[in-house]
Amino acid sequence: MSQYQHLLLEDDASRIEALEFASFIVEAPAGAGKTELLTQRYLKLLATVDSPEEIIAITFTNKAASEMKKRIMDSLVDANGGERPTLSHKIVTFELGQKALARSAEKSWELLTTPSRLRIYTIDSLSGNLARQMPLLSRFGTQPAVSEDASLYYQEAATLTLANLDDAAEGPVLQQALRYFDNDHFRLNALLAEMLAKRDQWQYYIMNHHDASLAEAALAHLVTQDMQAVAEVMPLRVQEALMPVARYAASNLPCDASVALLRDWETPIPFKPEALPMWRAVVDLLLTGTNTFRKTVNVKNGFPATPEGNFYKGLYAEVVETLQQTDGAELALKALRELPNPKYDEQSWQIVLALAHLLKVATAELWLVFQQHGEVDFVQISQNALFALGDAEENPTDLALKLDYRIKHLLVDEFQDTSPTQIKLIEHLTQGWMDGDGRTLFLVGDPMQSIYRFRKANVGLFLRVAQEGIGGLSLIPLKLWRNNRSHAPVIEWVNDTFAKVFPDEDSVSRGAISYRAFVAKDRDPAGAGVTFHAMVDGGNSIEFDDDDVQEEAVESDVRQLEANKIIEIIKATWAQNPTRKIAVLVRARSHLHALVAEIRLNHADIQFQAVEIEELANRQVVQDLLSLTNALHQRADRVHWLAILRAPWCGLRLEDLHKLIGNDQVSTVLYLMHDEARLQAMSDDGRKRLLHVRDVMQEALNHRGRMSISRWVHGVWVMLGGPTCLWEAGDVRDVQAFFDRIDRMEANGQFSTEQLAIEVQKLYAAPDAKAKDLLQFMTIHKSKGLEFDTVILPGLDKTTGRTDQPLLMWEEVPREDFGGDVADVDLVVAPMPPKGKNKPNSQGIYDYMKSLEKQRAAYEDARVLYVAVTRAERCLHLLGAVAPNKKGELQPKKNTFLEMLWPVVASEFNEDKLAPSQAEPSTLNERRVSAKLEDFVPQLVRLKDPNIPDILQAEQVQYEVQQSRASAEDETGLSLEADVGTLVHRYLELIAEQGLAYWSLARLETLKLAMQRWFAQQGHPNLAAQNGVNLVLSLLNKTLTSAQGQWVLQAHEHAQNEWAIERQSDGLVIQKRVIDRTFIENGVRWIVDYKTTALAANIDESSLKQAAEQYRQQLEGYAALFADEGLSLQLAVYFVSVGRLINLSRLSA
């Protein structure tokens, strides 16, 4: 039997055993079909339990949870009457589904109609569910909303912490920390905020570890482990050979030389931390300052040019030659040089305690900030779930005891990505479980695909659990060997390559995973394979004075060549088969910029979907909207006022712009726009364009504060002609995303133009909805779990920046006697070193821990590359470039994928694969010469002159409508009624999106301060703002206690909230319509409009219907948008103040 057949049989046996009633940890390589295995086990368990709720499955993303639930339900539907499959693994699933359905019928579960009984959670949703069940113990009370981005809250908590400078208790500690950081208040604020975002990683340890001796013992343990690597390359025989040489050299050197410590070296040096000074002396003798073995020694090194000196030089050369022939010797000695002394000086430990205390205060402030805003982050949800469960061993809560009784089987997907906090949650859920008691734990993952260190996923936990179990539960290890995704040539290349790329051995503490080879089920190549496209840049004939400019020019050429090659591959692939799916995967989004630009400029026929690749802030339409928003909020902001005059809706030429502001650097642009002399100096075209913008902006500024910021800016944008400037397919979606973000900021009371600029940086353009999914661009992390016929990996020579410098570095060191508790650790911690030359002892410890993180990052980078290549089913294309060094040698850049692959692909680089920088110098020269900054004039894109008056006329109706909403003014001239309506609409949208279960009357009360701040930001005085808050709370309370209000907001099919639709006339977008809520119920599309108008509490049905009829025309307009859908339509008005839903009698297809 061949090795291939043996592995396939072992794989089949593992898949069968995985369905037995026992606890397992399963290693499933990429493409092994672990989702199918999880589905089969879930179905098997359904056939045995008394209720479906006894089984809980956990994964890490909503997408994965939905996929698992869909797989299970599809399997049940197929088993209910579908045709019996022919494939063996499908037959297993089919039969298990039939048994599950039989159990469902026996127990009256009705699983086919009640899929909600399947308990499949993300780790975050499970934590939220647990916290809700014990509101007091979880410290939430009612369940708060979860913020997708809590950075503003971290900043607020950090600011509040540093505001305690004059506090008697906190002031001295804060002063100590500020002195350490050179009184750089802003730097310390930013560092505290960064630490709060990842407090789950340090909170328990830093709050509970205040003993320097424990930290030193843990550090000594780490140092000892690292010194063992030297023991392998410096055995006793090598030390004995080096001793006389070292004694001779030391005797010829000054007493203060490091090697002088070896004058009396007579016995082998132990591999213990206390011997570090001696070992450093050995390293200084053997290695140069650049950490390479010394090729020669002389009198400076203790070897004078004497007969005796020459004799010892010969002995020295013999020792060095031996070490050079020993694998890893140079690296081991280099690492030894960088090991820190495992001791804290008093200053270092005191600053550790001070910063730990500050973090404790900041964490408390963050909790208060969360309570004030009624929102928390995902970290808080996880932590409070653990509070709700109590101490797993000594003091479990009623909830923990209830779950212990209720949960019989726990399944965890992607276990390689678990963090220590998530391990604790699993320990709590399985506390008291014993082998053979009928309860089972099933963990599945692939440690070779662990790529989420940035969220503290620790692949070492997978290794440790596999070895020692979790809690008191032992796990049977299983391994799958078969890849069902990729063709044999791809898998063979992956196996051969990554055996060289991955480390040789696993390491729990260092996050190292050795390579596990696997086999292909499909042995037929069918045209499959791996192709490496090598590019060598041999320089160019144009010399730039600035080295950075020179390097950028060369890089630009390489990226252009790469983009052309990718397009060539895409077209060739589709020429063979136009239905093949292609993915271009990159380490960083910026690595796709050249490709996207080339396609947009010269290959418009190639449609693609870019998944979170194109930053919204880089889209011109969004930049124009940011400038417009800033200009409206700050009249003195010259940059943004000038930007709106250059935007397409105005498009002033540079000559006209200069005549407007050229010799006045003081006055505001708006002031100069009213200077008739300057206007007369402009061209007729420029003056006409300027007057159009001036009139719109002046009118807008006169009505500032009379409506929400989002509606205000949108109305101005429409009046300027913004909608007619949307020329690209994705522009409408980008505009919608921009205004949605303003809406969210307003609802949370967090709007400012500065924060808006930050928020927009976090947004990405939505994929082109019109483009098919045949070509997708995404990061490698986004591609995890996906598969494509052809995968293209460009930019293998590109690096990614790692500049993370946290306030504290910490290292978790497992105790040797942790007794099976995988989370029982001691902590080594060091503060960020201060600026300046006087470095504390902790500098060495901090740098050492940074080096450990760098090593883990390198291991993970190899796993990231593995994830990328294993997305390919049939064809894999890799592209990388190198440039000759000063010696003319071709060597890859450090810390790149290409460096990892160099032993495999080096032979692909030769002289006949030069970049066009040599082949086509004239073309490149012309392009570079024309790209000089002083000659560059951006292309002006603008509306044609005849469009401007048409825009004014077409949009007048909408603007008047928006102004009419502000007619009910309070004494300030602001519209409290309109702002109440805006905020109520926003909260109704949130309630519908998050679910009624997350919202209660008590939770609304916690939002009062946020609402008050929001009204104040709209310009309302305190009393009016308080009245506004009371009105909003009253309207929302009415909805949450109204049966009809609850029905409108509950989950429905194809539900949409605040759905923006553009109305067109003669091909022009002239109005943006927003449908408050629409959904499909029993085959009927409902279109519901919210009205917050105050009505009498005892209003009769007839009056309500009469009031609803006033909005019929508006709703009929909405209905026309769904005319082609083929569904019956039901129009309705929901009057929020009385909690009544009034149907307008219209039912038509």
Q: How far apart are CA 909 and CA 566, in angstroms?
A: 18
Q: How far apart are CA 391 and CA 885, in angstroms?
A: 60
Q: How far apart are CA 463 and CA 444, in angstroms?
A: 12
Residue 85 contacts residue 444 (beta carbons within 8 Å): no
Residue 869 contacts residue 791 (beta carbons within 8 Å): yes
Q: How far apart are CA 162 and CA 167, in angstroms?
A: 10
Handedness of CA 544, 547, 549, 553 (dihedral sign): positive
Residue 646 contacts residue 686 (beta carbons within 8 Å): no
Question: Residue 300 CB: number of other CB atoms within 10 A?
Answer: 10
Instruction: Taking each helix axis as running N to C, give the angle between helix 185-197 and helix 151-162, from 0 to 180 degrees, rounded to the nearest 10.
Output: 130
Closest residue by Cα to residue 952 from 644, 720, 698, 712 = 720
Q: How far apart are CA 359 and CA 202, in angstroms?
A: 10
Retrieve residue 868's tokens: 């990328």
Retrieve residue 711's tokens: 């509606």
Any binding-site annotation on 1083? Answer: no
Any binding-site annotation on 35? Answer: yes
Residue 919 contacts residue 834 (beta carbons within 8 Å): no
Q: What is the DSSP letter of 898?
A: H
Closest residue by Cα to residue 1011 from 1042, 1038, 983 = 983
Q: Where are the beta strands (DSSP E) in 407-474?
A: 409-412, 440-445
Q: How far apart are CA 216 and CA 212, in angstroms?
A: 6
Any binding-site annotation on 1008? Answer: no
**Residue 802 to residues 384, 454, 591, 607, Cα–Cα distance (Å):** 32, 11, 16, 33
Residue 285 contacts residue 278 (beta carbons within 8 Å): no
In which element (H, E) is residue 1085 found? strand 1084-1091
Q: Cα torsion for 908, 912, 915, 920, to the nearest 10°?
A: -170
Would residue 684 be called left, alpha or beta, if left means φ above 0 and alpha means ψ between -120 and 50 degrees?
alpha
Residues belonging to the chain: 1149
Within 8 A by CB and 6+ apart from 231, the residues are: 271
Any binding-site annotation on 1051? Answer: no
Pairing of β 1053-1065 and β 1084-1091: unpaired
Closest residue by Cα to residue 521 from 478, 494, 491, 479 = 491
Retrieve residue 579's tokens: 């239905």
Q: What is the largest CA-CA distance in the chain?
A: 118
Query: What SS3 state is found at 892?
Result: coil
Query: Which residue has tokens 């604020």?
Result: 189
Any binding-site annotation on 529? Answer: no
Q: How far apart are CA 766 and CA 762, in angstroms?
A: 13
Q: Is 666 exposed, middle or buried (0-12, 13-18, 19+ CB in 10 A)?
A: exposed
Q: How far apart are CA 944 and CA 649, in angstroms?
A: 9
CA angle at 964 for the pair 961 and 970, rounded to the nearest 5°: 155
Residue 219 contacts residue 872 (beta carbons within 8 Å): no
Retrieve residue 604's tokens: 């418009």
Q: How far apart are CA 453 and CA 455, in angstroms?
A: 5
Q: Where are the beta strands (DSSP E) in 489-569?
A: 519-520, 529-536
Any binding-site annotation on 32? Answer: yes
**Span between the terminal Cα atoms of the chain, in Å:** 66
Question: Residue 878 CB: number of other CB atoms within 10 A?
Answer: 25
For the annotated binding site for ATP, the residues are 28-35
For the annotated binding site, the residues are 28-35
